[in-house]
Amino acid sequence: MAPVKVTKICCIGAGYVGGPTCAVIALKCPNITVTIVDLNQARVDAWNSPDFKLPIYEPGLEDVVRQARGRNLFFSTDVDKGIEEADLIFVSVNTPTKKSGVGAGFAADLNYVELATRRIAQVATSSKIVVEKSTVPCRTAESMRTILEANSRPGCRFDILSNPEFLAEGTAITDLFAPDRVLIGSLQTEEGISACQSLSDVYANWVPKERILTVGLWSSELSKLAANAMLAQRISSINALSAICEATGANIDEVAHAIGYDTRIGPKFLKASVGFGGSCFQKDILNLVYLSESLHLPEVAAYWRQVVEMNEHQKRRFSKRVVDTMFNTITGKRIAVLGFAFKADTGDTRESAAITLIRDFQSEKAYVNVYDPQVVEDQIWADLTEAQPLVPVDQIKKQVRICSSAMEACRDAEAVVIATEWKEFLDIDWEEVYKTMNKPAFVFDGRLLVDAAKLREIGFKVVTIGRPAP
């Protein structure tokens, strides 16, 4: 069976993954028309905005969209037209953790995937290759196939592929330009292998062939969960060691440096911090926990659950250290929180550690000044109110002030908490900051970002993750 030559792609979901991924495909494959569709009108409008005020911040993204939009890259709310015209459809919708019902708090909510799949079946009048881009539990492709086959018109064939996305927010464009690997999973049938070839040919326009890995469908689905679980486990491991460092006098940077020299361990992703955030790590591990429990593997479930629990512990430990250090009370004190995004170079705040820290400081009756270079004010209020459903919004707004610069946030504060590793925090005029703060002036570095020795010379009392109190 000869592979279909893909000329029209539709991506359902114009979010953090669908948007950048398919914009890069359009840029690299000028002969393929790429239409990214979404039900969210505001999001699509932002992707189409004449002054390129895109709905997500990602270094290099604007440049990609500027080059391809209107040429062979289109954004639309017309989901049906996008489906109808395409030969290959990416499903890149959200798969959050279920909030209620069976498996709440652990299982992936596959409602969006199911609705998109049903739409494909109902609308398509010709055969399509359907690609899972969303991160989904193992064997979701089987459910998608059942839905497609049960609802499709006669004569329409659907071949399902898994092509999980490994980009990291903040470096999405460089990750997409030069991925470590592109993973494509298919059924090992003649049709499955042929569909896999069609998608491989798309990526082969810019990705070296040896980096395009083709595997079975279930291996591909599980590999995505496994990759995120292993990355998060590494962070929880180094954070667990940071607690031991603080208690013993060891220095977590030195420990990470020493163990990273072992080629079996390697130096990357060994930075201790206030804890991981983002929309994926926690959700995907919980998904793995749920999967393990469903497969009657309670010990395996408990093993992975511990990675998430360690992360929660790290955040709580950090908040407690702030309170303990500030003479056991922060009531009425002003704390400047620098950074609200879950990591640098993104405006994404999902599961950001800053949200937990601010909630903790508020519950201790502190006042909080927040500054982030990318996160918009509405998002901060939305996150803080969602995190404290029982606290009246007025109360939250009385205790929190959103500032337009780091300098403004630090003025009259008694402590600065670095919650996100934005590079601009390195360039702050710390001497000036010190002058404007109440004394003693504390800096709590949750990202191992600033030069603690230099700040101490200025007069700050500096507390960092993974190092004992000076």
For ligand NAD, which residue of 35, 72, 94, 162 counts as binding (CB under 6 A)? Answer: 94
| Nearer residue to ligand NAD within complex by CB, 146 or 395 | 146
- Would you give the binding string for ligand NAD spanning residues 22-41, x where CB under 6 A is met? ---------------xxxx-
Consecutive H or E run containing 214: strand 212-216
Per the CB < 8 A criterion, the answer to whether 90 and 21 are in contact is: yes
| Nearer residue to ligand NAD within complex by CB, 78 or 432 | 78
- Would you give the binding string for ligand NAD spanning residues 68-87, x where CB under 6 A is met? -----------x--------
Cβ at position 74, least distance to ligand NAD in Å: 14
16 is in an annotated binding site: yes
Cβ at position 58, least distance to ligand NAD in Å: 10
Binding footprint of ligand NAD, residue count (CB under 6 A) = 27
Q: Rounded CA gap, 347 and 349, in Å? A: 6
* 18 binds ligand NAD per the rule CB under 6 A: yes
Cα angle 121, 132, 113 (rounded to 5 degrees) comes to: 60
Residues forming the active site = 280
- For residues 384-399, one letter each, b for 16 or more C-beta atoms within 10 angstroms of the residue's C-beta and e for the rest, the string is beeebeeeeeeebeeb
**For the CA atoms of the chain, what is the radius of gyration?**
24
Q: Rounded CA gap, 128 and 423, in Å? A: 45
> Phi and psi dihedrals of 365, rounded to 5?
65, 30
- Would you give the binding string for ligand NAD spanning residues 162-201, x where CB under 6 A is met? ---x-x-x--------------------------------
Residues in 147-166 that interact with ligand NAD by CB under 6 A: 165
3-state secondary structure 152-164: CCCCCCEEEEECC
Which residue's CB atom is positioned nearest to ligand NAD?
Answer: 15
> Phi and psi dihedrals of 378, rounded to 5?
-60, -35
Cα angle 128, 124, 185 (rounded to 5 degrees) comes to: 25
Say what the alpha-carbon torsion angle 98, 88, 128, 36 is, to the nearest 10 degrees: 60
* 279 binds ligand NAD per the rule CB under 6 A: yes
Per the annotation, binding residues are 13-18, 38, 43, 93-97, 134-135, 165-169, 224-228, 264, 271-277, 280-283, 342-343, 350, 447
Per the annotation, binding residues for substrate are 165-169, 224-228, 264, 271-277, 342-343, 447
Residues forming the site for ligand NAD (CB under 6 A):
12-18, 37-40, 43, 79, 92-95, 112, 115-116, 134-135, 165, 167, 169, 279-280
